[in-house]
Amino acid sequence: MASSFSHKAVPALDVFKPDLFHGKVVLVTGGGSGICYHITETLMRLGCKAAIVGRKADRLREAAEQLARDTGSEAIATPGDVRKFEAMEQVVKQTIDKFGKIDFVICGAAGNFMAPLEGLSSNAFRTVLEIDLVGTYNTVRATMAEVKRTHGTYLHISATLHYSGLPWQAAPSAAKAGVDALSNVICVELGPFGVRSNCIAPGFIAGTEGASRLVPKGSDDMVKAFIPAQRIGERTDIANAAVFLFSEAANWITGQVIAVDGGQMHFRSAWLPYPQSSLDPRSFKNLFPDLRL
């Protein structure tokens, strides 16, 4: 029997004051699409100016133009590959040349290959770590001097995958565990300079690449049944958490990983076909017939 109650996602502007981030500048890797695009849009609606980072320059410029049109704030496209430190140095220079400073940094660039361990190549594993973990390090290292100067804040988009073993998720699990650990070091090393660093770990978020891979079509009710909050998350939920963590209301919160998943991490293993998913990979593929490998 399904619960008849669930909270609804509330837009940030219904909760936070419209000029909360007036005069602030955010740099966002992975900001051209998905969750990080929505976070960027929300921050801009609250007064932020933004520089979004990605590898596909044309798509990135279109995203920046759309963000500016929709929010009335300023956004620029700063193409770059987070795997290359020199590229991130150039991104930082372009952002400061345009806006004069960087207050907030969101490390959201990510990659994933869904495969069992025996089917995951060393190159695929390395690629995910280079984008997620090395990319986060390069972004932090390139922005560090400026963020120390502005007493700014880092926010890393992590995951709940590594809180327990999840089949076919070795690469992102290892990468995101590293991101969490890196954020802890940033907290300790840069805290005395007035810098904070936190992670958000999203659960299933509707309309994202991750949800399209992991939630079988037509199975929303099944998935909701294993989420204590009784609904699949929305990008608004992640954006609201980001707004709070960047705000002064969170100025004594640092070195934390905030799971924004409706409580799902506490109940996740119940809906996975185990041990069938390990003994017979076809059972996992049958559960997710639209899985793109």
- Catalytic (active site) residue 176: yes
> CATH for 12-268, among 3.40.50.300, 3.40.50.720, 1.10.10.10, 3.90.1170.50?
3.40.50.720
pLDDT of residue 88 exceeding 90, the answer is: yes
pLDDT at 132: 98
Collapsed DSSP state (helix, strand, coil) of residue 124: helix
Of 24, 49, 73, 158, the catalytic one is: 158
pLDDT for 112 equals 86
Phi/psi at 25 (5° precision) = -130, 130
Question: Which two three-digit tokens encode residue 183?
Answer: 């954020």
Q: Where are the domains of the chain?
A: 12-268
Q: Range with the lowest mean pLDDT among 13-17, 52-56, 169-173?
A: 13-17
Active-site residue, 158 included: yes
More confident residue, 7 or 157: 157
Q: Which residue did the predictor score with more confidence, 225 or 285?
A: 225
The span from the CA of 162 to the CA of 144, in Å, is 27
- CA distance linking residue 125 with residue 174, whole number of Å: 9
Q: How far lies 92's CA from each of 130, 139, 214, in Å?
A: 19, 9, 34
User: Residue 238's Cα: distance from chain center in Å?
Assistant: 8
User: Nearest-5° angle of CA 211, CA 138, CA 99?
Assistant: 90
The pLDDT tens digits for 230-242 are 888 899 999 999 9
The Cα 186–Cα 254 span in angstroms is 9
Express each pLDDT in 155-168 by its tens digit. 999 999 898 888 88
Instruction: Tell whether the model's pLDDT for residue 244 goes beyond 60.
Output: yes
Catalytic one of 24, 49, 176, 224: 176
State the Cα–Cα distance between residues 129 and 136, nearest whole angstrom: 10
In sequence order, which residues have a C-beta less than 8 Å from that of residue 134 and are 6 or more positions away? 82, 83
What are the Cα distances from residue 115, in Å, to 122, 156, 194, 260? 12, 24, 41, 25
